[in-house]
Amino acid sequence: MASATPRLLSFLFTPLRLTYPIHAIRTSHRSRTLSFLSFNLRRPNGRLRTVSSFASNGTNGMERMGQKDEERYDVIVVGGGHAGCEAALASARLGARTLLLTLNLDRIAWQPCNPAVGGPAKSQLVHEVDALGGEIGKMADRCYLQKRVLNLSKGPAVRALRAQTDKREYAMEMKKVVESNSNLFIREAMVTEVLIGKNDNIQGVRTFFGMDFFAPSVVLTTGTFMSGKIWVGRASMPAGRAGESASLGLTENLQSLGFETDRLKTGTPARVDCRSVDFSGLEPQYGDEEVSWFSFDPECHIEREQMCCYLTRTTSETHKLIRDNLNETPTYGGWVDAKGPRYCPSIEDKIVRFRDKESHQIFLEPEGRTVPELYVQGFSTGLPERLQLALLRTLPGLENCVMLRPAYAVEYDFLPAYQCSRSLMTKKIEGLFFSGQINGTTGYEEAAAQGIISGINAARHSEGKPVIVLERESSYIGTLIDDLVTKDLREPYRMLTSRSEHRLLLRADNADSRLTPLGREIGLIDDRRWDLYQSKQLRIKEEKERLKNVRVSGGEFAAEVATVSGQPVRDHTTLESILKKPHVQYKLLDKHGFGNENLSKCEKDCVEIDIKYAGFIMRQQSHLQQIVNQEHKRLPEDLDYYSMTTLSHESREKLSKVRPQTIGQASRIGGVSPADITALLIWVESNRRKANQRTQQELLRSGATDNHMAASSPTDSVVQATAI
């Protein structure tokens, strides 16, 4: 408790202090509209809106508002999954009065599918969310059952951490965190409607039971719940997940506002009772002896006992049973046509598509320390329940297994994310944000990554601050969002390392040095984390200096380096150039007493990577810089592409639909050719100049007749026009 209190205090105060430089400068142009005053007065009071700012709500809003203060919030987050929790926490931590609405309080941060966090590309997302000050990494570090580093020898950029997690513990821990924030209010509710103001701005949400909650920012994270429908064989029922009711009505409401919706499908395999499984003949998969961590916060680095996973395989019997019953599956029987993810095909898909493969790997993963459930990874199916047990029992080790939950598929509504800008705010409705599966992604990590960005931006928007955009090149989060909003995706999107063009620069080990300064500036990194971060960077820097200057000659060390690397070691070689040799790791320096004891393992890794791959990293950096200079040219958001006759018809159509924010985004849209991009550049530039000339002339004219105040009014109109 003693240690917890100062932390709490610092949390409460740092965002305030930190944001002052921003206010000081930002407010300068607003001071003339008097918002400067109200802004600062409101700040200590939990930022309650002034009555005047609600005057435009209409009489209905006014009445409700006058009666109950607590129905007004700064941010409302709809949905309590991995996106929702991250969004609500980020928003609340930034000082916004935040309301989290969820269908079921007991299913906060539930892991309905694979009880695992991380993996290639996904672990980078988790590290990045943590570096910004998010929660998912800490949760996975607290609740892991097993941890493994994948791709250990394949290069620093693709090295990935994966944790099996205790799904009950995970949900409970997250609930505690969410409940303990004084800015965050939780309520069970089904949102059926979003409330829209006169200027196409969000005003709040309406629930099934007729409650209205008001806020200038609303984040929708509906997961698989919007018009969700689950399938087992031919039988289906409306549900967001097995045993939980779907959310009905919201889709129609969003459609009536002009949003395009579409349908996606995903599935989850059966769970079996681990007490009924014979593990004796199965290949065990143990966790790493030396545990790695998602979070950069050492406070979460508490080792726990690990559990074991097991590997089994499909047999010819499995394949025969499936082939004989193909017409009983939704896809091949033809009664479900929503698109499932290519990354998690059902077992019948695998057997049909990879006919010549005799056997497929199946992993048995524990779901928790206190539950007997085993997750049968790689075995999701659309077969009817009566066939599922027989199918499971064709697997070695599962001959006598007991099935606890059948496998099922779920269909749900999503909103193709070209309708959002990169801040995750929708282009149609100001203040409305989408995150998670509603944007067509799959995976907890992808959801959390979007959640933290929409949470930050929702809070900033409610406060009148500019929203934040992570560029594609800056992070996997940026890549994810850029892909979502530019590519017209029609299948669930999973993050993969191959989606990032410059993944060598977006590693797990440098996620903090890429994003923590931003997290600090936003206000999500407290003093303690910031001090930790800075001293870590300092140690790494000093160590790199040291390695550059210390030279060694001959001796046992040089001999071993020569054998390990297969390269001769010259006299007076610096430790830096020794570390650059193939297969020479920092460990070898440690072994011979040339290491630095003050560094943690993770810091040594950083030093090693920075030195060993410096050439490659530099090359990628300069490559990236060239691209960035070209691609970050911004496009006005109100461009009339149809009037640009120099563009091809196809790209006029595509560009009008996606409305890219930068030239780079435009070039990534399918069907837009390099020639179109050139034409676009020219069009934009010439129009910019025309507009510039016009405003200059107008200003000169008005400046000649009017006084200083008159000249200032166009300032505000520019701000408003461009902020939409």
Partner 1 sequence: MASSLIRLLLPWRQPKPHHLFPFSLNPTKTSFLFHLRRCQASTSSPKRLILTQDERSKGSLSTEREAIVGSGTIAAIVTSLGGGPAAVGIVRISGPTAVAVAGQVFRPVKRWKEEGGCVAWRPKSHFVEYGYVLDNDGNVIDEVLAVPMLAPRSYTREDVVELQCHGNDVCLHRVLRACLEAGATLAEPGEFTLRAFLNGRLDLSQAENIARLISAKSAAAADSALAGIQGGFSSLVKSLKIQCIELLTELEARLDFEDELPPLCLPSLIDKISVMRHDLQDALDTANYDKLLQSGLQIAIIGRPNVGKSSLLNAWSKSERAIVTEIAGTTRDVVEANVSIHGIPAMLLDTAGIRETDDIVEKIGVKRSEAAALAADVIIMAISAVDGWSEGDAKLIEHIVTSQKSANQAMTAPMILVINKDDCKPKDLLVSFEEICSGLFKKVVRTCALTGAGISELEKAVLEVRGLEPISSAGRKWTVNQRQFEQLLRAQEAFFRLHTSIEEQLPMDFWTIDLREAALALSQISGDDISEEVLTSIFSKFCIGK
Nearest CB to partner 1, comparing residues 104 and 687: 687
694 contacts: CB under 8 Å, gap ≥ 6: none
Residue 699: helix, strand or coil by DSSP?
helix
CB of 283 to partner 1, least distance (A): 11
Nearest approach, Cβ of residue 65 and partner 1 (Å): 29
The nearest distance, CB 534 to partner 1, in angstroms, is: 9
Query: Which of residues 18 and 177 has its CB atom nearest to partner 1 in the complex?
Result: 18
* Closer residue to partner 1 (CB): 100 or 117: 117
Q: Which is nearer to partner 1, 195 or 459 (CB)?
A: 459
Which residue type sits at 268?
T
Judged by CB, which is closer to partner 1: 61, or 416?
416
Q: Which is nearer to partner 1, 179 or 358 (CB)?
A: 358
Q: Residue 146, Cβ neighbours under 10 Å: how many?
A: 22
Q: How far is the CB of 69 from partner 1 (least distance, A)?
A: 31
Q: How many C-alpha atoms does 495 have within 13 Å on its Cβ side?
A: 32
CB of 99 to partner 1, least distance (A): 26
Strand ranges (DSSP E) for 94-175? 98-102, 116-118, 144-150, 160-165
Q: Which two tokens mark 175?
A: 């609930």
Q: What's the Cα-to-Cα distance from 453 to each of 84, 85, 435, 476, rounded to whole Å?
A: 11, 12, 9, 12
Minimum CB separation from partner 1 for residue 159, in Å?
9
Q: What's the distance, CA 587 to chain centroid?
A: 34
In the chain the first and final C-alpha atoms are separated, in Å, by 45
Nearest by Cα to 449 from 417, 424, 477, 472: 477
Based on CB atoms, which residue is closest to partner 1, 78 or 505?
A: 505
Tokens of 586: 């920092």
- Rounded CA separation 160/123 (Å): 6
Residue nearer to partner 1 on the CB measure, 372 or 636: 636
Shortest separation between residue 463's beta carbon and partner 1, angstroms: 14
The Cα-based distances of 539 to 513, 543, 714 in angstroms read 13, 6, 50
What is the rounded distance in angstroms from the CA atom of residue 197 to the CA atom of residue 216? 10
Nearest residue (CB) to partner 1, 143 versus 347:
347
How many C-beta neighbours within 10 Å does residue 210 have?
7
- Minimum CB separation of residue 607 from partner 1 in Å reads 9
Min CB(35)–partner 1 separation in Å: 14
Instruction: Provide CB contacts within 8 A for 212, sequence distance 6+.
Output: 61, 64, 71, 195, 204, 205, 206
**Residue 552 and residue 573: Cα distance in Å, rounded?**
6
In whole angstroms, the minimum distance from the beta carbon of 101 to partner 1 comes to: 28
**What is the CB neighbour count within 10 angstroms for residue 664?**
22
Q: Helix, strand or coil for residue 195?
A: strand
Q: Which is nearer to partner 1, 258 or 670 (CB)?
A: 670
Please state the closest distance from residue 179 (CB atom) to partner 1, in A.
31
- Are β-strands 229-232 and 403-405 bridged in parallel, bridged antiparallel, or unpaired? unpaired
**322 and 348 Cβ atoms separated by less than 8 Å:** yes
Using CA atoms, how far apart are residues 163 and 344, in angstroms rounded to an integer? 19
Nearer to partner 1, 138 or 503 (CB): 503
List, in sequence order, every residue forming a beta bridge with 552; answer none if it has no partner. Answer: 573
Q: How far is the CB of 289 from partner 1 (least distance, A)?
A: 18
User: How far lies 85's CA from each of 79, 163, 258, 259, 303, in Å?
Assistant: 8, 19, 28, 25, 25
Tokens representing residue 253 in the block: 């409401």
Give the list of residues 6+ apart from residue 142 with CB closer than 8 angstroms, or none.
169, 173, 300, 302
Q: Take residue 634 and report the two structure tokens written for it.
A: 């911004």
Separation in Å, CA 417 to CA 192, 260, 488, 489: 20, 9, 8, 8
Quote the least distance from Cβ 157 to partner 1, whole Å. 5
Of 55 and 538, nearer to partner 1 (C-beta) is 538
What is residue 653's three-state secondary structure? helix
Give min distance, CB of 29 to partner 1, in A: 4
Task: Provide the residue type at 206 as one letter.
Answer: R
- Give residues with Cβ within 8 angstroms of 141, minimum separation 6: 163, 293, 294, 295, 300, 301, 302
* CB closer to partner 1, 251 vs 331: 331
Q: How far is the CB of 406 from partner 1 (least distance, A)?
A: 16
For partner 1, the closer of residues 213 and 418 by Cβ is 418
The residues, ordered by sequence, that sit 6+ positions from 420 with a Cβ below 8 Å of its Cβ are 426, 427, 433, 434, 439, 484, 485
Phi, psi at residue 376, to the nearest 5°?
-95, 90
Give the span between the Cα atoms of 133 and 451, in whole angstroms.
Answer: 12
Q: Which is nearer to partner 1, 72 or 122 (CB)?
A: 122
